[in-house]
Chains A and B, each alone.
Chain A
Amino acid sequence: MLEVILTALVISAGIALAAAGITIIYMSTETFNFAHASFTTIGFFVVYNMLLVFGGSPYYYFVFAAIFTGLVGVAVYLTVNRWLIKRGADMVTLMMSTLGVDLILFGLINQWADIIRDTIPGSSPRNFLLRTIDYPIAEVAGTTIYARVPISIAIVILIIIGLHTFLTKTKFGIAMRTTIENPTLARIMGVNTEMVYLTAWFLGGALAGLGGAVLAMIETGSPQVGVRYIVPLFAGSIVGGLYSVFGSLLGGFLIGLSQQIGIYVLSLWVGTFINAYKPVIPLVIMVVALLFFPEGLGALAEKYLARRGVKK
C-alpha cells in the first residue's frame, strides 16, 4: 500500500505541474493547448537524451528539460499562436491549431527517438525506464523510498512558492495578472501584453517539461507517453477550474491520486481486471467536474473560505 501511495505521489506531482502549465496558457491566451502532450514527452526525452550523452544523475537535467520545453512553447507562440490571437480567432480555432502543432511535434519526437536509437548504442528510446537507476534513500516497513518522492514534492512546493512570489511581488507578475483580468485595460496602462503572452507560453512549456521530467522517473518512456497523459492533464486543469494555477496543481494531485490509489482500492474490491480501466478515472472525474462544478476546485475552496469568513 505504501508503495502505491508513493508511486501515486510522484505521478500526481508530474500531472499537477503539467496541468498548471495548461492553465497558465489558457488563462492568458484562451488557448486550450493540445500540444501539451508533446511538451510533456519532450521533457521525458530531454532527460533521457542528456542522461545517455552526459551520464550522471537524471536529476541534473530537470532544469534543461524545463528550459528547452519552455523555449519550444515560446516558438509555438511566436509562429502560430500570436498570429491567430492578432486575427481574433475563436477558441475552437485556437485549440485546433495547437492540435496541428502537437501532430508536428509528435512526428519530430518520433524522428528524434529514431535518431537516438541509431546513434547511441544500447539505447531504447521507445521503451526506457529511469526508475531503475533511481537512488534509494530510506526504507520504511519493508518499502524502499526512492529519491524521486521527496524531489518531486519539493519541485511542486518550489513552483508554488516561486509562482506565488512572481505573480504577487514582482512588477511583471502583477502586469501579467492584469493582462489576464483585462487585456485592453492592461494595454492602455502600458503593459506589453505580447511579452506577457510570451512569458505565459514559456512558463506553460517549462512546467510541462518539468512535469514530463518528473513523470520520466516513474513511467516507461516512449514517444507515445504524452498521447496517453494528455487527458489526465486536461482533467487536472479543468478540475482545478482553469482560472487558477494553484487550483490546477490541486486538481492535478486529485486526478493523479484518485487514478492511482482509486484503482488500487477498486482492484482489491472487484478484482484485478479493473486495472485496465485506470485511464477511465480521470475521464469520469473531468466530465463530472465539468457538468456539475464548472467553476472548479479553486472556486469551491474560495467559496468555502468566504463562508468561513477568511479573507483571500
Chain B
Amino acid sequence: MAIVIPPFLIEILLTFGIFLIITVSLNFEVGYAGIPQFGRVLTVLVGAIVAAAIPGRLLVLMAGITVEFRGEEIVPYGAEYANHLVNFRLVDQINTQILGVNPGLSIVMFIVTLILAAIFGAIIGYLTSYPALRLREAYLGITLLAFGDALQLIALNYDPLVGATQGVFVPNFFLWVGPTQTSAKIIAILIVAALIYVLVYFWVNSPFGRSLKAMRDSEQAAEVYGKNVPRLRGYTLMIGGALAAIGGALWVIYTGSMDARTFNRLTWTFWPWAFMMLGGTGSHKGMLVGVFFFALFRYLIFAYKGVLEPFIPISIQWLEYILIGLIIVLVSMFRPQGLLPEKPRTLLPKERVEELAKPSA
C-alpha cells in the first residue's frame, strides 16, 4: 500500500476513527437502549488488554521463540511475556522475524486480535448486565463507573497480565508495509470504523433496534408487546462491549504499546459522552458529526496553540478540559437533542400512518 496520508490528517483521522467506534458503541447503549453507560472505559480496556496480551503470546507459541530468563531457556508465553526485561526484546523479535516478513500472517493475526477483543468485550459486557437488570438510572451509572475504575486498577497493578505500570509492547501487524505503515494503520482503523458504523446502522433500524427504542421509551409497554427486556438489555451490553473492545484494541495496535495509565475514565468514558451529546443522543448520523467536530477542533486548538496562547490567560492543556466541560454543560442546557437530533422513524409513509390513525367512521 503506497497511500501516504499527510501528518495533519493522520491526527484528525486517528481521533475520528477510534472515537467514532467508541461513541457509536456508547450511543448504542445510551441512545438506543437507555442504559446510562458511565463505564465505557471498562470494555475499551478489555480490548486493549486482549490486543496487548494475547496475539504476542500466540505468536511466541506458534514460532516457538525461546528467551533466556533468569538463567533458563524458556518459551515465554506465561507471566514472563509481560516482564519488562523480556517483553521489549521479545516483541521486537516477533515483529522483525515473524510479522515483518509475513504479510499474510500479519493480516490474519490483526483480524484474529480484533475478533478476540470483541469476544472478550462481549463477555465482560454481558457480565455487567447483572447490575444493569437490577439498578436504574444514576445508580447503574455509578456502578458501571466503579467497574471501569476497578479494571483499570487491576491492569495497573497485576503485572503478569500486561506488565502493570511498566506496560508492554504490542506486536506491530503493519511492519511489512514499510515506511508508510502509519498511513496503513489509519486506513485499517477507518475501514473497521466504517464497517462498525454501517453494521450498527442496520442493527438499529432492524426490529431489534426498534425493540431497543421501545424498551428505552417505556419498559412496561415493551414488555406488554412481548419483548424480553432483561434479554434485550443483556444483548445491548454484549454488543456495545464488543464494539468498544475493538476500539480499544485498535488504539493499542496503533500506538504499539499498552499502558494502563492512559485508560482513564475521562478520555474513554466522559469524552465519548460529550461527543455523543453534541451529535445528538440516539441519532446515528449525529455520531459522525459529534466525533468529527471534536477531532477537527482538537487538532485546531493544538495546531494553533502558539497563536492562541498570548490571547488567553489559560494554558492550552487545561483549556481543553474547560472547553469539553463547556460543551457538555451547554449542550445539556440549551440543546439536549444535539446537533443532529434523533428523528422518529415510521415503517410506513407518514400519510399512511395518519390515515390508519384516523378513527374509522
Using a CB–CB distance below 8 Å, which chain A residues touch chain B?
32, 80, 83-84, 89-93, 95-97, 99-108, 110-111, 114, 227, 231, 234-235, 238, 273, 276-277, 279-280, 283-284, 286-287, 290-291, 294
Contacts and interface: CB of A to CB of B under 8 A. Distances in A.
Contacts of B322: 103-104, 107-108
Contacts of A279: 149, 153
Contact of B318 (A90, A110, A280, A283): A110
A110 B141 contact: no
Contacts, number: 123
Given A283-B147, A291-B131, 13 more contacts: A32-B138, A32-B142, A89-B332, A89-B336, A93-B332, A107-B320, A107-B321, A107-B322, A107-B325, A111-B314, A111-B318, A231-B149, A280-B153
A96 B149 contact: no
A156 to B, nearest CB: 24
A102 B156 CA distance: 25
B34 to A, nearest CB: 9
Contact of A97 (B137, B146, B332): B332
24 contacts: A83-B333, A84-B333, A90-B137, A92-B36, A93-B332, A93-B336, A96-B277, A96-B332, A101-B325, A103-B266, A103-B321, A103-B322, A104-B321, A104-B322, A106-B321, A107-B319, A108-B314, A111-B314, A234-B142, A283-B149, A283-B150, A286-B143, A287-B131, A291-B134
Contacts of B146: 231, 235, 283, 286-287
Contacts of A111: 313-315, 318
B131 A99 contact: no
Is the interface on chain B under 10, 10 to 19, 20 to 34, or 35 or more residues?
A: 35 or more
Contact of B329 (A80, A238, A276, A280): A80
B282 to A, nearest CB: 13
A58 to B, nearest CB: 26
B333 A103 contact: no
Contact of B328 (A32, A99, A284, A290): A99
A238 B138 CA distance: 11
Most buried by B among A91, A97, A108, A291: A97
